[in-house]
C-alpha cells in the first residue's frame, strides 16, 4: 500500500479539479500527469444463466424489473429469455424499447431504471455502466466546520471502498428538491441536518445504512455525505443556491421545477 501525504492547500486544489463524485483523486492526478485512463473490468452478476440479459458489458439477471415514466404514464418491463420484455414484445437494447415507447430518438440508458432480484432500491441503468470505475464519494460540505490536520491519497483504492444499498444520486435529486420545497417555508430553505432522516425514511433505509460511518478518514456518516453530494448536483443544475454555508435554499428555477414534480413526492411533506 502506497500513501502520499499532502497539505491542505494541495488537497483543496485536487478536490476542486474533481468534476464529479465518481472522479477519484487518482483520476485527477492521472489527468494532470497526462497518463492514460485506468481500465477497470466491469463487474458482472455472480450467477448467470441463459435467461440473463447481457448488454454493453452489463448483466441484468433474469427477473430484473424495469420502469420508466413518459408524459405522465408509467411503463414497466422485465428481463426474460435473454432480453428486455415490454408490453409483450422483446427488445435487444434499452434504447430500442425507449424509442418504441416515445417515438423519438432516446438514450435508453438514461430512460430506464431497474431493480434486480433481491434488491430494494431502483437505480438508473446508466449507473451500472460506471461500476467498473473506482468510486470515491469523499465530499466536504463545509471545510470550515472540520478539523483536518493532514490528508492522504491511497494508491490502493479497492481496499478503501465499500458498497452500500443506497439509492443512486439520480433517484435522490427530485426527493431532496421537493423536501426543501415542501418544508422550507416562504424562503424555500432548510438546514442540511433537517434533510437526512426524512430522506432516509423516504428511501426506507435500514438503521445500518443510516448510521454507517464514512470510510475516507473524515468524521460523519456515509448517508449524510451522499445527501450532500446530491445537494451539489442540484447546485450544478441551478436548482439550489450554494452561496450560503449551512443553508440549502432553492433558486427560482428550483422552485419552478419542484412545483412541477411535487405531486409525485407528497409523502415528503411534513405536517
What pLDDT, in 10s, does the model give residues 196-248? Answer: 999 999 888 888 889 999 877 778 899 999 999 999 989 999 999 988 889 99
Pair (109, 138) in one structural domain: no
Is-contact 28 14, C-beta < 8 A? yes
What's the total number of domains in the chain? 3
Pair (29, 70) in one structural domain: no
pLDDT, mean over the chain:
79
Would you say residue 114 has pLDDT above 70?
Answer: yes
Q: How buried is residue 2: exposed, middle or buried, by Cβ count under 10 Å (0-12/13-18/19+)?
A: exposed
* Digit-coded pLDDT (tens) for 33-47: 888 766 544 444 455
Pair (8, 73) in one structural domain: no
Pair (198, 262) in one structural domain: yes
Task: Provide the pLDDT for residue 137.
Answer: 30
Q: Is residue 164 part of a domain?
A: no
In angstroms, the CA 267 to CA 271 distance is 10
Number of residues assigned to the chain: 271
Domain housing 58: 53-130
Q: Is residue 30 part of a domain?
A: yes
Q: Is residue 47 part of a domain?
A: no
Q: Is residue 45 part of a domain?
A: no
Integer angstrom CA distances of residue 210 from 30, 54, 138, 191, 200: 34, 33, 17, 18, 7
Pair (124, 139) in one structural domain: no
Pair (36, 71) in one structural domain: no
Q: Is residue 222 part of a domain?
A: yes
Task: For 247, list phi and psi in degrees, rounded to 5.
Answer: -130, 130
Is-contact 121 167, C-beta < 8 A? yes
Which residues partner with 221 through β-bridges? 213
In angstroms, the CA 171 to CA 230 distance is 9
Pair (175, 219) in one structural domain: yes
Pair (176, 253) in one structural domain: yes
In angstroms, the CA 157 to CA 38 distance is 12
In angstroms, the CA 104 to CA 100 distance is 8
User: What average pLDDT does range 2-22 have in this prediction?
Assistant: 72
Pair (262, 174) in one structural domain: yes
Least confident of 18-32, 80-94, 172-186: 18-32
Enter the C-alpha cell of residue 187: 424562503
Task: Provide the pLDDT for residue 247.
Answer: 95
CA nearest neighbour of 121 among 163, 78, 165, 77? 165
Would you say residue 193 has pLDDT above 70?
Answer: yes
Task: Provide the pLDDT for residue 147.
Answer: 35
Would you say residue 191 has pLDDT above 90?
Answer: yes
Pair (22, 77) in one structural domain: no
Q: Is residue 46 part of a domain?
A: no
Would you say residue 251 has pLDDT above 90?
Answer: yes
Pair (17, 120) in one structural domain: no
Residue 164: band (very low, low, confident or very high) from pLDDT cuts 50, 70, 90 = very low
Whole-model pTM above 0.85? no
Task: Provide the pLDDT for residue 196.
Answer: 96
Least confident of 97-106, 180-189, 223-232, 239-248: 97-106
In angstroms, the CA 7 to CA 62 distance is 49
In angstroms, the CA 157 to CA 135 distance is 9
Q: Is residue 59 part of a domain?
A: yes
Task: Provide the pLDDT for residue 149.
Answer: 37
In angstroms, the CA 127 to CA 119 distance is 15
Task: Provide the pLDDT for residue 133.
Answer: 33
Q: Is residue 48 part of a domain?
A: no
The highest-confidence range among 113-122, 199-208, 253-262, by mean pLDDT, is: 253-262
Pair (146, 176) in one structural domain: no
Going by C-beta distance under 8 Å and a sequence separation of 6 or more, which residues neighbour residue 108? 93, 94, 95, 96, 97, 98, 99, 125
Residue 131: band (very low, low, confident or very high) from pLDDT cuts 50, 70, 90 = low
Amino acid at each position: 500500500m502506497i500513501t502520499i501525504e499532502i497539505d491542505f492547500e494541495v488537497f483543496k486544489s485536487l478536490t476542486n479539479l474533481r468534476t464529479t463524485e465518481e472522479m477519484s483523486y487518482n483520476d485527477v492526478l492521472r489527468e494532470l500527469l497526462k497518463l492514460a485512463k485506468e481500465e477497470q473490468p466491469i463487474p458482472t452478476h455472480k450467477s448467470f444463466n441463459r435467461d440473463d440479459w447481457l448488454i454493453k458489458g452489463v448483466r441484468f439477471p433474469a427477473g430484473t424489473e424495469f420502469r420508466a415514466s413518459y408524459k405522465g404514464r408509467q411503463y414497466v418491463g422485465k428481463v426474460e429469455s435473454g432480453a428486455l420484455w415490454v408490453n409483450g414484445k422483446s427488445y435487444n437494447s434499452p434504447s430500442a424499447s425507449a424509442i418504441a415507447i416515445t417515438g423519438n430518438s432516446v438514450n435508453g440508458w438514461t430512460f430506464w431504471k431497474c431493480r434486480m432480484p433481491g434488491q430494494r432500491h431502483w437505480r438508473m441503468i446508466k449507473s451500472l455502466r460506471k461500476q467498473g470505475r473506482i468510486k470515491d464519494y469523499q465530499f466536504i460540505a463545509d471545510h470550515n466546520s472540520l478539523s483536518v490536520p493532514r490528508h492522504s491519497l491511497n494508491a490502493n483504492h479497492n481496499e478503501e471502498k465499500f458498497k452500500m444499498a443506497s439509492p443512486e444520486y439520480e433517484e435522490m435529486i427530485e426527493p431532496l428538491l421537493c423536501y426543501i420545497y415542501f418544508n422550507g417555508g416562504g424562503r424555500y430553505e432548510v438546514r442540511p441536518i433537517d434533510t437526512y432522516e426524512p430522506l432516509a425514511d423516504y428511501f426506507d433505509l435500514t438503521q445500518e445504512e443510516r448510521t454507517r460511518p464514512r470510510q475516507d478518514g473524515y468524521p460523519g456518516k456515509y448517508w449524510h455525505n451522499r445527501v450532500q453530494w446530491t445537494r451539489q448536483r442540484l447546485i450544478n443544475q441551478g436548482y439550489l443556491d450554494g452561496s450560503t454555508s449551512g443553508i440549502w435554499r432553492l433558486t427560482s428555477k428550483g422552485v419552478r421545477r419542484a412545483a412541477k414534480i411535487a405531486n409525485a413526492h407528497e409523502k415528503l411533506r411534513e405536517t
